[in-house]
Amino acid sequence: MARCLASAPATSELVVAPGNPGTAAIATNLAIDPASPVEVVELATQMGADLVVVGPEAPLVAGVADAVREAGIPVFGPGAEAARLEGSKAFAKDVMSAAGVPTAEAVACTTEGELSAALDRFGAPYVVKDDGLAAGKGVVVTSDRAAAMDHGMACLAKEREQLQPDAPESAVLVEEYLDGPEASMFCVCDGATVRPLAPAQDFKRLADGDAGPNTGGMGAYSPLTWAPEDLAEQVVRDIAQPVVDEMARRGTAFIGLLYCGLALTGNGLRVVEFNVRFGDPETQAVLARLTSSLPDLLHSAATGRLTEAPEPTWSEQAAVDVVLAAPGYPGTVTTGGSITGIEEAEALPDVHVLHAGTGLDDDGHLIASGGRVLSVVALAPSVAEARARAYEAIERINLDGAQYRTDIAAEH
């Protein structure tokens, strides 16, 4: 997002809080607490910001966008109540039901007995979801009933800080399994109008062949050559617009990014999940193809003028994003490893490397500081060529014990 915002002619200055070594090269990093409404408002006021973009989900659920909006500064991101579409899966199901949006049938469970009964009701493959925020790792899909039960019990036992005073009591959802390929669609919303971005597909499992534990995402690609040509129109008509209308009816305007995680089943589109911000790692692939101005689009949404904004435009090239993760991810992560080879990777045509879990050691050398460390993004005339270029680039990067999948976009 920072790369796309910084490169637009409309941007005169970009501040990223707290940022990382990658954003430091294109923006000013300021080490504030991004989940503190007070600190974000103070910074935006001091710098005379024309637009605040709230990236992660935790600050949105904490009400950062509300505070910025109340201060009279345009902000792209939903308020805390609207952010419950991601912060509570039970709330999202309630909104979808009211809006007539197609999704998997689900049961919200608060006890061991309810969990066991729900698993028996739906049968294998079991889909068990933490109701709250889980950084993309709160879902288990398994044919092993014991594993499904264990995950559900862990969700029930987990102590979560209640960011919402009226947060729902349910702690875990059991859903019916949805067949068919999955896709991700980002929709920019201004509270009334919806503008779709290009669809993408991500890869959640850690290992090749969709093996291993769920992660926040190990790679993505765009466009989806196999998807229906009218996928964006279907999503707006049947999913995003009804949800935005329902939120408005409830007096909770949804202003920001509605991420629609979709299953293209034999019975049509079904919503797998909603997020309320640009999702990782699809954003890296989608924004790599955007040729129109991201800040202009987001400012139009933040100020309720999305109908006046031109439609986003896209490169004919395909984009493939491969995530480089630290040793141990998504479990106990080993940080501190030295990273080299980024310049060599970016020497390849149409390749850029985006920082996520990176930092600097005491000597100023780049090191891994988190689970997903880098995203290696390549553009090329076809998905196959972009894929080959991304893997050629990632092989030039060195991090001891690093993990990455070798089959991102292999069967597009």
pLDDT value at residue 200: 98
What are the pLDDT digits (tens) for 68-83?
A: 999 999 999 999 999 9
Question: What ranges do the domains of the chain cover?
Answer: 1-81, 105-175, 182-308, 318-399
What are the pLDDT digits (tens) for 210-224?
A: 999 989 999 999 999
E strands in 149-276: 172-175, 182-190, 194-196, 201-202, 205-207, 211-214, 219-222, 255-265, 268-275
What are the pLDDT digits (tens) for 329-347?
A: 999 999 999 999 999 999 9
**Residue 158 pLDDT level (bands cut at 50, 70, 90):** confident
pLDDT value at residue 166: 47
Non-local (6+) Cβ contacts of 175 within 8 A are 104, 105, 106, 107, 122, 127, 128, 129
Say which CATH superfamily domain 105-175 falls into: ATP-grasp fold, A domain (3.30.1490.20)
User: pTM of the full predicted structure?
Assistant: 0.87
Tell whether the model's pLDDT for residue 163 goes beyond 80.
Answer: no
* Upstream peptide bond of 196 is cis (omega within 30 degrees of 0): no
pLDDT value at residue 223: 97
Q: Is the dihedral of CA 294, 296, 301, 303 positive or negative?
A: positive
% of the chain surpassing 90 pLDDT: 84
**Residue 136 pLDDT level (bands cut at 50, 70, 90):** low
- The mean pLDDT of the chain is 93
What are the pLDDT digits (tens) for 168-209?
A: 455 788 988 888 899 999 999 999 999 999 999 999 999 999
Select 318-399's CATH number: 1.10.3720.10, 3.90.600.10, 3.30.70.141, 1.10.10.60: 3.90.600.10
19: left (phi over 0), alpha (psi -120 to 50) or beta: left
Query: What is the architecture, at CATH level 2, of domain 1-81?
Result: 3-Layer(aba) Sandwich (3.40)
pLDDT value at residue 170: 54
The topology under which CATH files domain 182-308 is D-amino Acid Aminotransferase; Chain A, domain 1 (3.30.470)
**Residue 267 pLDDT level (bands cut at 50, 70, 90):** confident
**Residue 129 pLDDT level (bands cut at 50, 70, 90):** confident
For 50, other C-beta atoms within 10 Å of its C-beta total 16
pLDDT value at residue 247: 98
